[in-house]
Amino acid sequence: MRKFALLLLLCISSFAVAGSAPPIYNYKLKTIDGDPTSLAPYKGKVLLLVNVASACGFTPQYTALESLYEKYKDRGLVVIGIPANNFANQESGTDAEIKTFCNRKYHVTFPIMSKVSVLGPDKIPLYQYLTDKSTHPAIGGDIKWNFTKFLVARNGTPVARFEPAITPDSPQVITAVESALHMP
């Protein structure tokens, strides 16, 4: 656990020293209500970006994502749900249906974006960036399923990736989030 935290801190520090500002804040999205946005309003926050789906075996992770958000939001964590229908048609609803589902079933208060593609030729630029192995060799690679989580440090650098089976309340995620929150 300590080794993971130290490795994460080293990664965050090395990106900060590199000096070039990551482009993550420039990527355009739409809110679940269809309003244009980007990640720029979250500059200086620790982000946990999660491709979500309403009819997946991992969908109950919404509960742990909401708990994580509630626990750390005052310290600067923002969980962002990004619905995608890339896997077994598990997010086939409209944005309005997704919003209703998240609010009624899981009482989600963290930001949810409009449905996008996170895989294949229509993959949105944000996920092209996150999964680019040449830019992010340690965390890059195609998304394998719903509820893949990317942790982004306050400086905008992606620092960790958690596959779907690693839950938001797992020691790995908690340790990584706490380490990222302690960085400037």
State residue 9's pLDDT score. 44
Q: With the C-alpha atoms ordered 140, 155, 26, 175, is the resulting torsion angle positive or negative?
A: positive
Assess contact for 110 and 69: CB atoms under 8 A: yes
- Give the integer Cα–Cα distance in Å for 133 and 154: 21
**Biggest distance spanned by C-alpha atoms of the chain:** 44
Does residue 23 fall inside a structural domain? Answer: no
The number of domains in the chain is: 1
Q: Is residue 28 part of a domain?
A: no
- pLDDT attached to residue 151: 98
Show pLDDT as tens, one digit a residue, over the chain (184 residues).
Answer: 554 444 444 444 444 434 454 689 999 999 999 999 999 999 999 999 999 999 999 999 999 999 999 999 999 999 999 999 999 999 999 999 999 999 999 999 999 999 999 999 999 999 999 999 999 999 999 999 999 999 999 999 999 999 999 999 999 999 999 999 998 8
Among 5, 7, 9, 56, which one carries the catalytic annotation? 56
pLDDT given for residue 184 in this prediction = 80
Q: Report pLDDT for 22.
A: 60
Do the beta carbons of residue 134 and residue 142 sit within 8 Å? no
Instruction: Quote the domain boundaries for residue 86.
Output: 2-15+35-182
CA neighbours closer than 13 Å in the CB half-sphere of residue 13: 8
- Asked if residue 119 belongs to a domain, the reply is yes
CATH number at residue 104: 3.40.30.10
Strand partners, 31: 113
In a domain, 11, yes or no: yes
Domain contains 24: no
Quick check: is 169 in a domain? yes
Question: Is residue 56 annotated as a catalytic residue, yes or no?
Answer: yes
